[in-house]
Chain A
């Protein structure tokens, strides 16, 4: 405050203004270094359970479900040969034998792109009524995958779910209802079930018709999703990433890890197990790669399991994925996993309040270490700080110019700047309508495959954006550029901060590209370099580059980049329409206008320098 009100402070500001280039660069580097430091054991902290009511591992676990599971597995294998669909009657029959009420939930997906095909699916669930009055519930779910599925089989988890249900049914200590859910069509089935349970629609209306549920069990406190690929497992991976980068409460994650440890089940986070007593350097690298894998995963905003869809509804959920053990040697059996589930459920059953004690914003650096929001948010803070300082210094120099030419005519074309910004936003809005327009309403759209139509649509919009910018540059003079530059910097800074509130990883990774671009577009860097850097940050180009890089990392070549790009564009738009994901909202509605503003600046300076040379 002193800086703004004390006239003597003006001089102090000058330091900031004169050296803003160095300061911004330093902040950028400091942010990157701070991020690396998070992997150090000096910065991150060991996890602990905040909620006392969980009392993990306090009860004696007595389930032994391996025999039952194997029997169910044998039957299921036979049943699955008859049909490709989820064997609803077989599962319901099993539930009835355990004297559990069971229900089938039907849902329909009206595919939002292209010709509007319809897909149908079914979920089956049974409810074990606890001793309470159905005010609270816990969910145990398993996805059903048929033999044609692209993903590894989950029949073991379906069988285990049934076996543990049988065991749970005979226990008298349940205070909450237990909902045993088997879903079809991966996340679609789960989303439909959750929407039906809560009587809402999260995506666009009319896309996913969730229908209604015949029975419910009150407010869901926690959910555990099982993806066991085999009866013999090497380790259990605890997956936490949710839709739009949401995470479950750290207490639940800790609980699962802790009970895994207690039951001597090997467990991992991000497929990386904890290695005890590593030398500091190796520990640092181990933590760094674990942390980075989580950041990369979270940035996509795509859930890495069915658990990720629960988070929106205020339900804490994780997935336990059992990876198949190859060959002989020590392995985890279904008995272990059954015990872990029992332990987790009994702890959650103890809960008096919903999960609220521990962190909702964190980054795991190991199975038992994490970085809390207080430590990681400075990364984004410094990035945004660089943008703000730059904006501030431009503002001050602009004011200096005013003071210099205090008597000369002082006509700013603020209207022009405003219109330019608005046009940039309109480009974003138009681009957002691309997937539906180009696959449905565009003439000849039906002759194209959806992927190609969407890719072409985005290419056309990108070119249109670039042309619009060429027109816009003619409107503004050098003074307006400064104003536009300030607006661009402030806008991008605000956007990054807002995104970091919900998805730190996305904001941080985006800022690595966006911040240099935003700093450079209005600076004295050679204009060719400036334009090149700016063009490289073009949303579509950036996405293509990221996909190419990941292709190169996974397959060693760039061959599949084109189809993968088209596919990812379609998938993100479908995610937005079905799940209400922000994976397309943020890049298109938020980033695209910002980039166009920056590109206007780039091209404007290019234009202005030409006449001088001539």
Chain B
């Protein structure tokens, strides 16, 4: 017993000493926002560590996951964004997510300016991340990586006079996200899934959603206004959108219990704050709802650039007992169909044309704002979909719009994708279509995947805009870390990145049972062709005058001929035959005929 006390004491000492050395903190947040028949739940687990990014920073970690830290250190990464997503974020009905993510896996990283071989580091990093997250990120290579110049900017701190860091961006639209990605992801959390908000992430329930996305975002930040103190920030996110028609069987009533299969328990002891934020703005509309337990919530009105939202905040650390508790929302009426307010800028993308001759990709960008908006469209088109820049058309109705800037790098077969970035201004309250034509390339037969007829994926495009209004905008400002910091955080503009649909293209696909047939056919043709070709090349030809004969006489003549041949054959058995070579045989035949 005494030994135990001493041991625990020692551990406590050790821990506190480490904690004194390492100034880091961990926060847990859950943001819930009900939409039109859907409920968006967003988990954010943030680790902020006051230190500089040096070559030995991650030798000693406290709350920061060391496995990830080592990757960052080894590959001289300055900023890293990974997301793995199932489903498509429906901007038109759901507004903007806190962290945008394209369907499938999306990865981009900024490497330190002094990095020697960026491509080598990128390849190695994707390989390591693939192992860390159990995802097929190792399929990222030169053939699907681009370095966008306009759309993506470092979100963290960059020294003003320092050289630009190197960017690499890639998507794997076909990547399927499931529990095998969640398990390694949760191991990066200080409390794992055992305590706190993360305990809600039970794979039985969270894959029942219309959209779910895992994200890891690492960057360098300033810890004060003058940036005298810098720090590292790691934000791990889970975005889930529940479909009430499926989860609640058309009942508009929802609760934590119903979504996650369990109630809320104790907070993670390592977390400095644990908060649940419910967006109750829609309560002002006709269909009222009651939030329970109401008393525990603290209501705050947040105004950002004139758009005010009402947030109900619950501090989980105020709940001291061991018992589980629930958060429920009950509506006054059974069904609700509030009018949908689409966000200002959103986009959709589709393939035009049919057959496998010509095709086109059309991206429709909507601007519902009362002012013209500048947006950047980023297209990452795989090499097997050769596009033509001359066919790029930007149209508003029948009117052509001249892009302000075009960045284009043509692809190369089996080497690099087509990269296209267009900066354009969309007139107020209008829809602009950006279309580009492409060919369907022929692949080599080994390049087809086992399910060749499924089609080939083309990653989603993204539209980046700097909106002057915060309507439908949820993300915290770039200079803050926590979601709670977004309250009353008005800025000049709000950066949104809208991701579009991934596309499936049916390339000309051979019938893979065909090679067998082809081999058979080719062999037959060769066999049939060989005889006549051999004859042609080895025999001499003479034109004979044909004689018309009746069928019966012909037959008799043939029979005679056969008989004669037999005789000559028997003669030829003797070694000294007449020495007639094969070449003269047609002549001989002709002579025979004449003699007849």
For window 534-568 of B, CB contacts with A under 8 Å fall at 535-536, 541-546, 548-549, 551, 554
Residue among B103, B245, B250 with max Cβ neighbours from chain A (10 Å) = B245
For window 92-113 of A, CB contacts with B under 8 Å fall at 96-99, 101
What are the nearest 8 A-B pairs in CB distance? A199-B352, A133-B103, A353-B453, A133-B88, A1-B532, A99-B37, A313-B354, A356-B453
Say whether, besides A14-B546, A135-B504, A199 and B350 are in contact (CB < 8 Å).
yes
A-contact bits for B150-173, CB 8 A (1 contact / 0 none):
000000000000000000000001
Verify if A132 is at the interface (C-beta below 8 Å from B): yes
- Count residues of chain B with CB under 8 A from any CB of chain A: 61
Give min CB distance, A220 to chain B, whole Å.
10
Q: Give Cα A312 to B509, complex, Å.
A: 17
Task: Count CB-based A-B contacts (< 8 Å).
Answer: 122
Verify if A172 is at the interface (C-beta below 8 Å from B): yes
**A-side contacts of B243, CB under 8 Å:** 172
Give min CB distance, A405 to chain B, whole Å.
13
Verify if B208 is at the interface (C-beta below 8 Å from A): yes
Say whether, besides A169-B245, A215-B348, A352 and B451 are in contact (CB < 8 Å).
yes
Verify if B502 is at the interface (C-beta below 8 Å from A): yes
24 contacts between A and B (CB under 8 A): A1-B532, A2-B535, A6-B532, A7-B544, A11-B554, A14-B554, A98-B245, A99-B337, A132-B87, A135-B502, A136-B504, A170-B249, A198-B351, A198-B353, A199-B350, A200-B353, A216-B350, A218-B504, A219-B351, A219-B503, A219-B504, A353-B454, A354-B454, A403-B546
Q: Give Cα A356 to B362, complex, Å.
A: 27
Give min CB distance, B59 to chain A, whole Å.
41
**A-side contacts of B511, CB under 8 Å:** 356
Contact A18 B245 (CB under 8 A): no
Q: Give Cα A238 to B566, complex, Å.
A: 67
**A-side contacts of B355, CB under 8 Å:** 314
Determine chain A's interface SS by DSSP, over half rule.
loop
Verify if B589 is at the interface (C-beta below 8 Å from A): yes
Verify if A5 is at the interface (C-beta below 8 Å from B): yes
Q: Give Cα A124 to B586, complex, Å.
A: 78
Contact B354 A352 (CB under 8 A): no
For window 372-417 of A, CB contacts with B under 8 Å fall at 400, 403
- Count residues of chain A with CB under 8 A from any CB of chain B: 44
For window 1-48 of A, CB contacts with B under 8 Å fall at 1-2, 4-8, 10-11, 14-15, 18
Residue among A133, A170, A354 with max Cβ neighbours from chain B (10 Å) = A133
Known: A1-B532, A4-B532, A403-B546. 19 other contacts (CB 8 A): A6-B535, A7-B542, A7-B586, A8-B586, A11-B546, A14-B546, A97-B335, A132-B87, A133-B104, A169-B245, A170-B246, A171-B246, A198-B351, A198-B354, A216-B350, A314-B354, A352-B451, A356-B453, A403-B545
Give min CB distance, A85 to chain B, whole Å.
25
Q: Give Cα A313 to B210, complex, Å.
A: 29
For window 493-548 of B, CB contacts with A under 8 Å fall at 501-504, 506, 509, 511, 528-529, 531-532, 535-536, 541-546, 548
**A-side contacts of B348, CB under 8 Å:** 215-216
A-contact bits for B417-435, CB 8 A (1 contact / 0 none):
0000000000000000000
In the complex, the chain A residue whose C-beta lies closest to that of B358 is: A200
Give min CB distance, B458 to chain A, whole Å.
10
Q: Give Cα A172 to B243, complex, Å.
A: 9
Q: Give Cα A16 to B64, complex, Å.
A: 90
Contact A199 B353 (CB under 8 A): yes
Say whether, besides A133-B103, A135-B502, A215-B348, A2 and B87 are in contact (CB < 8 Å).
no
Contact A8 B245 (CB under 8 A): no
Contact A353 B451 (CB under 8 A): yes
Option from A132, A169, A198 in Cβ contact (under 8 Å) with B352:
A198
Give min CB distance, B511 to chain A, whole Å.
8
